[in-house]
């Protein structure tokens, strides 16, 4: 069978993998890179029979509305992934317009995709035109799935993978396969101990509150904001939530079976004040100890309002919780200690610290996972340091490190 990446092989973004096998064409994920300007993958072939979506993050889902222009194609994903991808692709349209870019698709495409979308439950099997694909949880975020394609050879596509349980979701379990197509975000890097990170995070929040400051926690709307809220639950801080995470929470509350503990998630949210209107933001600034808000990389969203108010306050803190892509305001803060607020570069007086709440497996986790699948062929994708993994996996499997656009057989 032949595999080809449309994008996302050697970078974190714009992922798309085309599998051609026995006259069928399957597309795994179809994402974009939400940078300024956005980046896109090679266009999908027009003869796609079936597309499967691992999870809702835009680097995996951002181009799926274009599939509505291929009326024969079906898009299979878990119901949680479909609902959250709908929110994110609509938001991406809004962001494109705000930033003055021609959007890659229209609201009509997003609406059209609904007719082609098929919801597959976790642990479900989807069959379409003789193609059989088994879905199994990938950890990472609620609804995230790995997909096991059963064909000439069994191919396991991981999407994004987390092999440790978090507050929000359980861990991914390896499945035996012939060919493993595995994400490599953390190739060559390990995570610090999560419980230790959480303890330090709560301690630093407490220290800020004790000296009379407030904590701004910029967090991605899908997965990260919820993980942070669960980490803070029961610690007694006045916590406010602002931005798109509110809508994502509603999806998660409606599908508790996709969470590690739906009741605990619901309880964690009960103690959180939700900013419903921009007018509530002043109240949040007055009364909050902690404000969890989008955008996670400080490039847009309500976080800029809060930072604009609090950056000169030496008692307050900005605690970053996610990956800060090159060129983002958050990366600028980490690298130079400066921020761009209202088009002016400023040096915040408040405390700035980064905490590793990653939803991806670390290097050793990836090696163990790959070995447990007993795959004879491992294809590494979604990473910019894949060679580090290749070296550790090579004694046990044929390791392929493909380039975008290059077709290869497995
Ligand atoms: Zn992801």
- Exposure on the CB side of residue 134, measured as CA atoms within 13 A: 11
d(CA 225, CA 218): 8
d(CA 2, CA 245): 39
d(CA 372, CA 252): 30
15 Cα: distance to centroid of ligand 1 (angstroms): 11
345 Cα: distance to centroid of ligand 1 (angstroms): 30
d(CA 105, CA 234): 43
- Residue 228 confidence (pLDDT): 98
Say yes or no to pLDDT of 89 above 90.
yes
57 Cα: distance to centroid of ligand 1 (angstroms): 5
161 Cα: distance to centroid of ligand 1 (angstroms): 8
- Region 212-238: mean pLDDT is 97
What residue has token string 């998630």? 265
150 Cα: distance to centroid of ligand 1 (angstroms): 24
Give the rounded percent of residues in the chain with a pLDDT score beyond 70. Answer: 100
313 Cα: distance to centroid of ligand 1 (angstroms): 34
- Residue 398 confidence (pLDDT): 98
- Residue 400 confidence (pLDDT): 98
Beta-carbon contacts of residue 132 (< 8 Å; ≥ 6 apart): 125, 126, 149, 150
pLDDT in tens, 94-151: 999 998 999 999 999 999 999 999 999 999 999 998 899 999 999 999 999 999 999 9
pTM beyond 0.85? yes
- Residue 17 confidence (pLDDT): 98
164 Cα: distance to centroid of ligand 1 (angstroms): 15
- Residue 34 confidence (pLDDT): 87
Burial of 250: CB neighbours in 10 Å, binned 0-12, 13-18, 19+: exposed
Domains of the chain: 2-189+359-409 (3.60.15.10), 194-354 (3.40.50.10890)
16 Cα: distance to centroid of ligand 1 (angstroms): 13
58 Cα: distance to centroid of ligand 1 (angstroms): 8
In the numeric block, which tokens belong to residue 61?
Answer: 């889902």
Beta strands in 151-254 (DSSP E): 154-157, 179-183, 215-218, 239-242
346 Cα: distance to centroid of ligand 1 (angstroms): 31
- Sorting pLDDT into bands at 50, 70 and 90, what band is 216? very high
The closest alpha carbon to 175, from 371, 373, 370, 380, belongs to: 373
The closest alpha carbon to 58, from 77, 35, 25, belongs to: 35
- Region 225-232: mean pLDDT is 98
- Sorting pLDDT into bands at 50, 70 and 90, what band is 338? very high
Residues 383/218, Cβ–Cβ less than 8 Å: no
12 Cα: distance to centroid of ligand 1 (angstroms): 10
- Residue 327 confidence (pLDDT): 86
d(CA 256, CA 357): 22
Q: How far is CA 106 from CA 85, 92, 163, 201, 234, in A?
A: 15, 11, 36, 41, 43
DSSP run (H or E) holding 339 = strand 339-341
141 Cα: distance to centroid of ligand 1 (angstroms): 7
- Residue 129 confidence (pLDDT): 86
210 Cα: distance to centroid of ligand 1 (angstroms): 35
Residues 293/219, Cβ–Cβ less than 8 Å: yes
DSSP run (H or E) holding 5 = strand 2-7
What residue has token string 């590494």? 380
d(CA 88, CA 31): 11
Mean pLDDT of the chain: 96
Say yes or no to pLDDT of 36 above 90.
no
360 Cα: distance to centroid of ligand 1 (angstroms): 8
Say yes or no to pLDDT of 71 above 90.
no
DSSP run (H or E) holding 133 = strand 131-137
- Sorting pLDDT into bands at 50, 70 and 90, what band is 326? confident
DSSP run (H or E) holding 319 = strand 317-320
Beta-carbon contacts of residue 395 (< 8 Å; ≥ 6 apart): none
- Sorting pLDDT into bands at 50, 70 and 90, what band is 357? very high
What residue has token string 């190739």? 187
Say yes or no to pLDDT of 278 above 90.
no
160 Cα: distance to centroid of ligand 1 (angstroms): 5
Q: How far is CA 102 from CA 99, 105, 106, in A?
A: 9, 9, 10
């Amino acid at each position: 069978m032949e595999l080809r990446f449309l994008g996302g092989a050697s970078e974190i973004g714009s992922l798309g993998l085309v599998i051609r096998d026995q006259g069928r064409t399957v597309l795994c994920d179809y994402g974009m890179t939400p940078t300024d300007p956005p980046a896109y993958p090679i266009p999908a072939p027009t003869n796609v029979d079936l597309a499967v979506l691992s999870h809702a993050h835009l680097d995996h889902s951002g181009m799926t509305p274009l599939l509505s222009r291929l009326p024969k194609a079906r898009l299979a994903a878990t119901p949680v992934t479909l609902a959250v991808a709908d929110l994110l692709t609509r938001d991406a349209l809004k962001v494109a317009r705000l930033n003055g870019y021609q959007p890659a698709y229209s609201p009509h495409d997003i609406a059209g995709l609904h007719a082609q979308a098929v919801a597959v439950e976790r642990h479900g099997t989807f069959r379409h035109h003789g193609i059989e694909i088994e879905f199994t949880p990938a950890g990472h975020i609620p609804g995230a799935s790995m997909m096991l394609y059963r064909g000439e050879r069994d191919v396991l596509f991981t999407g994004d993978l987390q092999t440790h349980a978090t507050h929000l979701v359980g861990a991914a379990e390896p499945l035996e396969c012939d060919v493993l197509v595995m994400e490599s975000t953390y190739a060559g890097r390990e995570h610090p101990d999560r419980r230790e990170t959480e303890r330090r995070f709560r301690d630093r929040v407490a220290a800020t509150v004790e000296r009379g400051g407030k904590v701004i926690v910029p967090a991605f709307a899908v997965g990260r904001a919820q993980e942070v809220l669960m980490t803070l639950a029961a610690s007694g801080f006045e916590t406010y939530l602002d931005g798109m995470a509110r809508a994502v929470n509603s999806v998660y509350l409606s599908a508790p079976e996709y969470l590690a503990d739906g009741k605990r998630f619901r309880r964690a949210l009960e103690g959180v004040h939700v900013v419903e209107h921009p007018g509530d933001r002043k109240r949040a600034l007055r009364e909050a100890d902690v404000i969890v808000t989008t955008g996670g990389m400080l490039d847009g969203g309500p976080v800029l309002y809060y930072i604009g108010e609090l950056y000169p306050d030496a008692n307050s803190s900005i605690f970053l919780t996610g990956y800060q892509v090159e060129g983002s305001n958050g990366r600028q803060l980490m690298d130079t200690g400066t921020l761009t607020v209202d088009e002016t570069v400023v040096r915040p007086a408040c405390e700035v610290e980064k905490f590793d709440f990653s939803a991806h497996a670390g290097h050793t986790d990836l090696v163990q996972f790959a070995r447990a699948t007993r795959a004879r062929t491992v294809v590494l994708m979604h990473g910019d340091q894949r060679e580090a993994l290749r070296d550790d996996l090579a004694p046990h499997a044929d390791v392929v490190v493909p380039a975008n656009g290059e077709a290869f057989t497995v």
